[in-house]
Structure 1
Amino acid sequence: MNQKHIKKAFIIDDDEAINFVTKKLLANFDKDCEVTTFSKPMEALEKLKEMLTASQPLPDVLLLDINMPKMNGFEFLQKMREEGLSKRIQVIMYTSSVNPDDKKQSAGYDNVIGYMEKPFSAQAYGKILEMTYNR
């Protein structure tokens, strides 16, 4: 049986504890998934640009928080668009925001394939797989 799995994922969240727990949970579900966390969105953006320039494989999916200092999730999505990354990487908004406007705004980006609320749960990995591969 050919089982789908996520080979590479980025978690972008200013909360180090959330990054740690989410990375551990993803690793528990898929031992082969390479998970990289970033607490600063600009560092993630620079890494993505570096990977693109070096023709390295980009992440299958980004889990992106909305409310972060200096650069929020929507500003990050805009930067991805400007750098030509938005057509290459799928994004799941991963946030504690319950604001319906955030969900609506997220839907305005072609590369945003889902919206999940924190905290990450055991069922969430299945949802991430489904969103990533059934698009």
Structure 2
Amino acid sequence: MLDSKINLLVIDDDDINIFIIKKIVEKTGFEINMVAKSNGKLAIDYLEEVTAQNAAFPHLILIDINMPVMNGWEFIEAYEQLDFKKDADLYILSSSVYENDIEKTKSYKSVKGFISKPLSMERLTELIKAIKP
């Protein structure tokens, strides 16, 4: 069991999905500080602000693929270019059933895997337990 609070960033433009993830987070029993952003641009802005303020960087980032302004792939490319000094565990969290999306996930060095929606409490618990504080 982890001793410290887990910082979770969810990047998704679907309010229902955000609501479901919040409920799952509450049921895990872990201390989780969850922040949600509705597109990749807002998420990049948030990460730059957190870094500038030397605030708590997310341990885990869940990224939807299809979003307005900056989609999940564009977010990952921007994230990798910015080369943040702290590492987060990044996962694509998508309803996509396209094999090419799952394969594309493997082409990014910072992405640890692809998770099909909806996120389950069991899967979130696995991800949290895998974080190295």
TM-score, L = length of structure 1: 0.87
Secondary structure of the structure 2 residue equivalent to 1:68:
coil
2:46 is matched by which residue type in structure 1?
K
Aligned mates of 2:77, 2:84 — CA distance in 1: 10
Structure 2 alignment gaps of length 5 or more: none
Whole-Å Cα distance in 1 between the matches of residues 65 and 118 of structure 2? 14
Give the structure 1 partner of residue 54 of structure 2. Answer: 55
Q: What is the distance in 1 between the residues matched to 2:123 and 2:41?
A: 26
**Distance in 1 (alpha carbons) for counterparts of 2:29 and 2:100:** 33
RMSD: 1.9
Find the aligned partners of 2:29 and 2:67 in 1 and give their Cα distance: 27
Question: Residues 114, 86 of structure 1: CA spacing in aligned structure 2 closer, same or farther, 3 A cutoff?
Answer: farther
- Partner of residue 95, structure 1: 94
| Deviation, structure 1 residue 87 | 6.2
**Structure 1 letter corresponding to 2:45:** E
Aligned to 2:2: 4
**SS state of the match for residue 57, structure 2?**
coil
Partner of 1:37: 36
Residue matched to 2:113: 114
Tell me, in whole angstroms, the C-alpha distance in 2 between the residues paired with 1:125 and 1:91: 13
C-alpha contact (below 8 Å) 1:23/1:37 kept by paired residues: no
Give TM-score, length-normalised by structure 2. 0.88
Secondary structure in 2 matching 1:22? helix
Q: Distance in 2 between matches of 1:74 and 1:85?
A: 17
User: 1-side partners of 2:10 and 2:48: how far apart?
Assistant: 16
* Partner residue in 2 for 1:83: 82
**8 Å contact from structure 1 (residues 9, 34) kept in 2:** yes
Return the letter of the residue paired with 1:83.
L
Deviation at 1:86, TM superposition (A): 8.3
Larger RCO of the pair (alpha carbons < 8 Å, separation 6+): 2
Give me the whole-angstrom Cα distance separating, in 1, the residues matched to 2:14 and 2:23: 14
Question: Quick one: structure 1 residues 111 and 132, their matched pair in 2 at CA, closer, same or farther if it must change by over 3 Å?
Answer: farther
Q: Report the residue type matching 1:74 in the other structure.
A: W
